[in-house]
């Protein structure tokens, strides 16, 4: 059985960008002033931002060119953020503000609830393996933002945390982590977050990231996996890349077996031009998947004696997408890919921005 790396429905040409060392550009962002920006974060100690005046096309930006800025936050602990998630605002009210999304992760560690008891097992190449890790141990998370109006010399922290709290809390709490942010046409910010509820969840900010609305579910089917969200260069349209999978596919062990792309022309209220970037061969070739009924948890079977089933030998997982614009009307994306027992190289694909709007091939 051959792995389907191109769905028959996609018409996005795959290719390499010959003029830019794409991998090194993942380590920093170019600010409106032309300065390079990055930050460090390990969760256990102070985190700081840095700027550099070096050439962004230099494949090895000299470490000596980086100038240390302010401390990002006073929080300590298991704090993380996605790669390529920083955003510099363009709207008149907060133009130049840098917004960084982070999340605080909490995991339960219990001697009577170990790896063997938690579940997420499947049969792969004749062996029982732990295929699905998250959601089978006690986990909770909340997301927040830090922002700077002086290119990282000083930082402020948003109020509170974004957490899943549906139906006035009658469904309990759900995770809301690995946030990604985009600026909308009216200057508001849209944050998409990973959740256990089988959908992407979202929040909005009307004050440049200082405060955020109550987290709510979208109608975009998603496993407990992060997405990539960005405003398309030169427009107010949005592009989204995410693991679009059904509840049934998640329960069968295909949590990251499909990677989809879509475009929004109305600030993320609706999405169109759905396409498939990657799809495991045994999954249905379909453009749009309806989300499950709202619940707090969509996952595979629990317990070490209950299997999700048998997955094909060519199974691969695709995830953690990133979106880059390098001018000249081209879009580059990268994402991780791995088999259940073997990591694979990060994959890069480059194609014209104009192809995002075209309907999927029949």
Tokens of 60: 């090895």
Question: What share of the chain in percent tops pLDDT 90?
Answer: 71
Over 90: is that where the pLDDT of 21 sits? Answer: no
Give the pLDDT score at 117.
67
Q: Look at residues 108, 168, 171 and name the one whose alpha carbon lies nearest to residue 141.
A: 108
CATH code matching the domain that covers 23-357, chosen among 2.40.50.220, 3.10.20.30, 3.60.150.10, 2.120.10.10? 2.120.10.10
Give the pLDDT score at 271.
98
Question: What share of the chain in percent tops pLDDT 70?
Answer: 92
Tokens of 71: 């401390």
Tens digit of each residue's pLDDT (9 = 90 or more) over 87-100: 999 999 999 999 99
Mean pLDDT over 170-196 rounds to 97
Over 60: is that where the pLDDT of 141 sits? Answer: yes
Chain-centre distance for alpha carbon 167: 25
Tens digit of each residue's pLDDT (9 = 90 or more) over 108-121: 888 887 766 677 88
Give the pLDDT score at 44.
74
Other beta carbons within 10 Å of 295 = 15
Mean pLDDT over 212-229 rounds to 98
Give the pLDDT score at 62.
92
Q: How far apart are CA 196 and CA 3, in angstroms?
A: 27
Q: Which residue has the higher pLDDT, 58 or 69?
A: 69
Give the pLDDT score at 219.
98
Instruction: Specify the DSSP element, H or E, that contains 248.
Output: helix 247-251
What is the b/e burial string over 216-236, where b = at least 16 CB atoms within 10 angstroms of the residue's CB? ebbebbbbbbbbbbbbbeeee
Over 80: is that where the pLDDT of 8 sits? Answer: no
pTM as predicted: 0.93
């Amino acid at each position: 059985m051959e792995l389907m790396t191109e769905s028959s429905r996609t018409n996005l040409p795959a290719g390499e960008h010959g003029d830019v060392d794409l991998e090194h550009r993942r380590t920093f962002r170019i600010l409106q002033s032309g300065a390079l920006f990055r930050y460090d974060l390990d969760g256990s100690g102070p985190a700081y931002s840095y700027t550099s005046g070096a050439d962004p096309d230099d494949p090895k930006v000299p470490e000596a060119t980086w100038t240390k800025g302010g401390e990002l936050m006073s929080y300590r602990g298991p704090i993380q953020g996605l790669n390529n998630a920083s955003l510099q605002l363009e709207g008149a009210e907060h133009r130049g503000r840098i917004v960084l999304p982070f999340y605080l992760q909490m995991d339960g560690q219990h001697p009577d609830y170990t790896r063997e008891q938690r579940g997420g097992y499947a049969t792969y190449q004749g062996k029982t393996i732990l295929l699905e890790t998250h959601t089978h141990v006690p986990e909770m998370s909340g997301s927040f933002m830090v922002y700077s109006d002086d290119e990282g010399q000083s930082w402020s922290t948003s109020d509170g945390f974004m957490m899943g709290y549906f139906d006035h809390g009658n469904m309990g709490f759900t995770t809301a982590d690995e946030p990604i942010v985009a600026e909308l046409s009216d200057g508001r910010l849209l944050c998409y977050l990973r959740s256990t509820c089988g959908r992407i969840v979202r929040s909005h900010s009307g004050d440049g990231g200082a405060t955020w609305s109550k987290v709510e579910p979208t109608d975009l089917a998603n496993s407990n996996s992060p997405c990539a969200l960005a405003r398309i260069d030169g427009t107010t349209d949005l592009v989204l890349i995410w693991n679009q999978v059904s509840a049934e596919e998640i329960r069968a062990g295909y949590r990251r077996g499909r990677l989809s792309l879509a475009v929004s022309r109305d600030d993320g209220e609706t999405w169109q031009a759905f396409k498939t970037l990657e799809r495991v061969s045994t999954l249905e070739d379909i453009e749009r998947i309806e989300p499950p009924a709202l619940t707090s948890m969509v996952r595979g079977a629990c317990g070490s004696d209950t299997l999700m089933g048998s997955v094909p030998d060519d199974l691969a997982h695709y995830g953690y997408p990133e979106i880059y614009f390098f001018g000249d009307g081209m879009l580059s994306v990268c994402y991780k890919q791995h088999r259940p027992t073997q990591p694979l190289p990060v994959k890069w694909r480059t194609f014209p921005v104009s192809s995002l709007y075209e309907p999927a091939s029949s």
